[in-house]
Amino acid sequence: MPKTSSPSTTTTTRPFIFQQLYQLFTILYKYFQSTLFIKTQTPVTKASTTVHNSINLQYYKGKTLVLDLDETLVHSVRLGTTESTVNASIKKKTIEVTSDKQSILYEVYKRPHVDFFLSTISQWYKVVIFTASMSEYADPVIDWLDQDQTLISQRYFRQSCLLKNGNFLKDISIAESDLSKVCLIDNSPSAYELCQENAIPLPTWISNPKDDCLLDLLPLLDALRFTADVRSILSLRDPKHI
């Protein structure tokens, strides 16, 4: 079922995202600028070019992106328990979940741009869903997000989380043992307590039809796939926002 941790505030979602993106891209720009300067000062031979391209290819290959599900990619409402306030323009689907021989219906809403987001990042990363929800609920939701079974490589559910003080912590090393090559996008800070240097915080989404947070992430994710160690960039965030 959808995770029960308290949703974080969404009042500062856009300023927060842009602040983080500006900080990270300033660092990336300075890095690439220094790299280009060194290249212009150093004679380039065919052998050195081959080695450089080989190293770049090594950085590019094999990166893994771990995604949370609820309030990150979708929002779910259990029918019969609350009145839905999600905008009618949001794509939705009714999911039936059988639990303890009882049938429960959920109205599941897609975060704006999630289809484009998944189709894009699946070309850059090995994409993994890691959710604190039970598989009985999460599996059909993921099937809806990835109808052709071509975007998402692996799925991990609540039983793969570590329970601590009522929070479900995610050990992303089960998806990728080399932590230099893996990022976690999640709206819940407690979820990435074990891997803060790999985390990309994302504001909680509930119902805003004009939310662009997933689109805002794409330039950052595009750049991170070329780094030798994603932690060298992500760990530079302001600790107050981790």
Distance in angstroms (rounded) separating the CA atoms of residues 144 and 89 = 18
Q: What is the largest CA-CA distance in the chain?
A: 71
DSSP state letters, 74-125: EEEEETTTS---S-TTS-EEEEEEEETTEEEEEEEEEPTTHHHHHHHHTTTS
In the residue annotation, 171 being an active-site residue is answered as: no
Which amino acid would we find at residue 30? Answer: K
Handedness of CA 202, 203, 206, 210 (dihedral sign): negative
Answer yes or no: 222 catalytic: no
**Angle at alpha carbon of residue 204, lines to 166 and 143, rounded to 5°:** 85
Q: Which residues pair with 200 in a beta bridge?
A: 185
For the chain, the straight-line distance linking the first and the last C-alpha, in angstroms and rounded, comes to 26
Tell me the sheet residues that pair with 74. 70, 110
Active site residues: 68, 70
